[in-house]
Structure 1
Amino acid sequence: MKKINSKTIFELFMIAIGCAIYGLSLDMISVPNKLADGGISGIALILRHFWKINMGLSTLILNIPLIILGYHFMGKHLLAYTIWGTICLSFFLAFWRLVPIISQLNLEHDLFLSAILAGSLSGFGLGLVFRYNGTSGGTDIIARIFQLKLGIPSGKTLLACDALVLLASLSYLDIKHMMYTLFASYVLAKVMDTVQQGAYSARGLFIISNNYQEIGTVINNKLERGFTYLKGIGGYQKTERPVIYVVVSPREVPIIKNSVEKIDPNAFISIIEVHEALGEGFTYEQKKLKLFKHR
């Protein structure tokens, strides 16, 4: 059995914080402003409206097969984190209702502002939960499975699930509140993916040129960035040609483009977005860019 270490305790703590923020968003913004919800909570609302089924009971019953499915795909470790997240969310949903601040924030006059705040807070909370390998139960489990097995961002999966549930919720919701809820779900997905994948966005550059050595020297001396030579083979002439791969901050991209253009105007440059960069120069102490150099 895996021992509980400081990393595990920290992850469990951050999952609890994420569930607290998510629960606060539901209690403080979504419910008072009559915004619907997606996922299991949305299904529970439908069951309560038509068949008067208790939401706590229906949520528990609906989560059981999903937890079993999660165990089959995610294993015992992630299952334990999922159960912890489910318990934390249930606790904070009850806890926040007892705090006076809930009744002090009245946004009922502005559904647009309510949708933005609800989506932002919920997305931030769920982003923390997913970033530290947990889920809050419900469709979060499906999103985690799709992320692990298919590489689909969790935010997109949650948005699709929420859209299906909200479509079914039209059976009792008016179109105005449903559309604002869908907008909140969109904001949630974007914020959650940003928090989960990392807010710092870098750029990856693939550079193909016969003057690769000179370009590499400029990257090393001018930006003080590390780079890698990859082995490439031309598709037409089948000749070998090194490919330079380097990861830089967005503000450094124009510097590299201008430098490469001066060395080889015919060089091929492909730029991709890197959601998160770990290592020296990014998560470690970053070298300062020298704008002015003594000659």
Structure 2
Amino acid sequence: MKNKLKSFFLILLGTFLVSFGTYFFLAPNEIAAGGISGAAIIINSIFPKIPIGILMMAMEVVLFTIGIIVIGPVFGGKTVFCSFTISGMMLLLEELFPKLHPLSNDVLVQLIFGILISGLGMGIVFNQGASTGGTDIIGKIINKYFKISIGKSVLIPDIVVTAAASWVFGIDKGLYAILGVIINSTIIDKVIKSINTYKHVAIISNEGEKIKSYIVEKLDRSATVYYAKGAYKNNEREVITTVISRKEFFKLKEYISLIDDKAFITVNEINEVLGEGFQNII
């Protein structure tokens, strides 16, 4: 239940960041940096009476149906929630801040801020096994079948939207949009990699029993124990290895420093862990 609430909160946070970055930085400058939001900005510029939120909802209905069929109902259900949450947030922002003008005359700065914020949100959502809807569903399908990173997978359909942006808004806005989708692709991969980074820790200590108990009972993680012979004194020592998150590592390191400040610890950073207690293998 706790994990489900955490996932729900993270998805809600991610969708808010996508909505915020799009509405306050990208839409006022007519920067269609890919995705359904970009396509909606293009259509809205041609038919300004149709709200961006309504356009996004209409296009998402078709694409999330495809997502449910191709990827599965869990992904589809989460994506439906994300899609309509973003659309709803966009409609709410349009009501609260109507006829929003660019925040400054520097389009490039606003592009960077908009993409940084929305890209961070998309990375959080993707890491929860969902997508923000629209062309991101296409990206997720590409990621599933061609094993391309999710950031690069999202880039492929977004290039089509940016090409349309170049035709509608002119080559200058189109180039901004292309730059935007490239930055967005990079940010998504960086966010997911950062979230999924773990520490592989090996410990040699005279307080091995206490450390094992702390890992299992306090951190709720498992550990592997093996024995190695030192080359200098030729004595056999117990080596405790475990895989933990960054936050858990700081707690473990602090605990070890309190009970054995002469312990020997090696740490390796790993970007993906599959199996019980971590991500599912499939």
Find the residue that maps to 1:32 and give its secondary structure. Answer: helix
Q: TM-score, normalised by structure 1?
A: 0.62
Map 1:85-124 onto structure 2 (within 5 A).
85-99=82-96, 106-107=103-104, 109-124=105-120
Percentage of matched positions with identical amino acids: 22
Q: Distance in 2 between matches of 1:200 and 1:85?
A: 21
Find the residue that maps to 2:129 and give its secondary structure. Answer: coil
Conservation of the 8 A alpha-carbon contact between 1:28 and 1:102: no
2:248 aligned residue = 284
1:39 aligned residue = 35
Q: Does 1:68 align with 2:65?
A: yes
| Matched pairs, number | 219
Deviation by residue 1:24-80 (Cα, 9 ceiling, x = unmatched)? 111111122232231223333444555778355543343233212211222221111
Q: Distance in 2 between matches of 1:191 and 1:145?
A: 19
1:155 aligned residue = 151
Conservation of the 8 A alpha-carbon contact between 1:131 and 1:197: no
Q: Distance in 2 between matches of 1:48 and 1:101?
A: 14
Give ranges in structure 2 of 5+ residues lacking alignment.
Answer: 205-241, 263-282
Q: Distance in 1 between matches of 2:97 and 2:152?
A: 34
Seen in structure 2, the aligned counterparts of structure 1 residues 37 and 73 have a Cα distance that, compared at 3 Å, is same
Seen in structure 2, the aligned counterparts of structure 1 residues 283 and 19 have a Cα distance that, compared at 3 Å, is same
Q: Distance in 1 between matches of 2:23 and 2:44?
A: 18
Q: TM-score, normalised by structure 2?
A: 0.65
1:251 aligned residue = none
1:171 aligned residue = 167
Seen in structure 2, the aligned counterparts of structure 1 residues 101 and 50 have a Cα distance that, compared at 3 Å, is closer
Give ranges in structure 1 of 5+ residues lacking alignment.
Answer: 205-218, 222-277
Find the residue that maps to 2:168 and give its secondary structure. Answer: coil
What is the alpha-carbon root mean square deviation over aligned residues?
3.4
2:269 aligned residue = none
1:135, distance to aligned residue in structure 2 (A): 1.4
Map 1:13-28 onto structure 2 (within 5 A).
13-28=9-24
1:220, distance to aligned residue in structure 2 (A): 7.1
2:130 aligned residue = 134
2:233 aligned residue = none
2:56 aligned residue = 59
Find the residue that maps to 1:117 and give its secondary structure. Answer: helix
State the AA in 2 paired with 1:106. Answer: L
Of residues 51, 68, 75, the one that matches 1:78 is 75
1:115, distance to aligned residue in structure 2 (A): 1.5
Find the residue that maps to 1:279 and give its secondary structure. Answer: strand
Deviation by residue 1:79-114 (Cα, 9 ceiling, x = unmatched)? 11011101210121122335569969712x112211
Q: Distance in 2 between matches of 1:59 and 1:14?
A: 22
